[in-house]
């Protein structure tokens, strides 16, 4: 059982139940999944996709999927079926292990870190945050990295409002900026 999941069960659920006055444990918001996506672009070399796939796999312990464009977009010179990024969906134990490493190992390695922005909520209880440099994770070999990579992290929760989701993530030790 991951440490963050144990913390959720033992500390976060009772705290949220007391704060919000939930009558049933099933009402308490929880993390459903975490989606990591890395947009590479249609004009990038094919080698860039394999590099991003390898790096995300080393960070998460799960093999990512190369995404393709669904429709034509003339402004971006994008045609349907062209490769445009890499994504990965984490659930259950791997999700909590990744979030634990992100909060306690990767974020402290960010230079001049003052917290993650509070404005990443989408109105439905989900949170999005970008990571500009993949090298904040210790699993990435900086010398072998050919292309600079950044990625987006989407945390999907069962919360109905942004306030519930913010309280959930704050109790799970996500360091929001003041």
Distance, in Å, from the CA atom of 153 to the CA atom of 155, rounded to the nearest integer, reads: 6
Lowest model confidence (mean pLDDT) among 40-49, 93-102, 107-116:
40-49
In a domain, 139, yes or no: yes
Digit-coded pLDDT (tens) for 146-175:
777 888 999 999 999 999 999 999 999 899
Assigned domain for 176 exists: no
Residue 115, domain member (yes or no): yes
Mean pLDDT of the chain: 88
What whole-number distance in Å separates Cα of residue 115 and Cα of residue 113? 6
- Residue 70 located in a structural domain: no
Residue 18 lies in a domain: no
**Closest of 121, 110, 103, 131 to residue 160, by C-alpha:** 121
CATH number of the domain within which 152 lies: 3.30.1440.10
35 has a pLDDT exceeding 80: yes
C-alpha distances out from residue 26 to 81, 96, 138, 159, Å? 41, 19, 36, 11
Asked if residue 136 lies in contact with residue 114, where contact means CB atoms within 8 angstroms, the answer is no
The residues with which 121 forms a beta bridge, in sequence order, are: 127
135 falls within a domain:
yes
The model's confidence at residue 135, banded by pLDDT at 50, 70 and 90, is: confident
Encoding tokens for residue 54? 């390898």
- Helix or strand or coil: residue 85? strand
Residue 117 maps to a domain: yes
Closest by CA to 111, choosing from 131, 129, 140, 139, is 131
Structure tokens at 71: 């429709």
| pLDDT (0 to 100) of residue 128 | 94
Whether residue 114 lies inside any domain: the answer is yes
Q: Please, which residues have CB within 8 angstroms of residue 97's CB and are 6 or more apart in sequence? A: 2, 4, 61
Amino acid 43: pLDDT? 62
Q: Number of folded domains in the chain?
A: 1
- Does the pLDDT of residue 94 top 90, yes or no? yes
Six-digit token pair at 18? 């007391």
- CA-closest candidate to residue 172, choices 89, 109, 107: 107
pLDDT of residue 44: 66
Domain boundaries, position 161: 3-13+32-38+57-64+89-170
| pLDDT for 87 | 93
């Amino acid at each position: 059982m991951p440490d963050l999941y144990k913390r959720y069960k033992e500390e976060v659920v009772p705290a949220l139940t007391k704060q919000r006055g939930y009558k049933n444990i099933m009402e308490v918001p929880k993390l459903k999944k975490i989606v990591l996506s890395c947009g590479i672009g249609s004009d990038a070399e094919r080698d860039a996709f394999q590099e991003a796939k390898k790096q995300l796999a080393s960070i998460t312990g799960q093999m990512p999927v190369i995404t393709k464009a669904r429709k034509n977009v003339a402004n971006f010179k994008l045609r349907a079926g062209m490769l445009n990024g890499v994504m990965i969906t984490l659930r259950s134990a791997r999700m909590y292990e990744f979030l634990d490493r992100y909060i306690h190992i990767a974020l402290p390695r960010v230079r001049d870190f003052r917290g993650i922005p509070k404005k990443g909520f989408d109105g439905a209880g989900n949170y999005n945050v970008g990571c500009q440099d993949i090298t904040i994770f210790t699993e990435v070999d900086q010398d072998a990295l050919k292309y600079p990579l950044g990625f987006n992290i989407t945390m999907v929760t069962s919360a109905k409002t942004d306030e519930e989701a913010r309280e959930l993530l704050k109790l799970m030790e996500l360091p929001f900026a003041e």
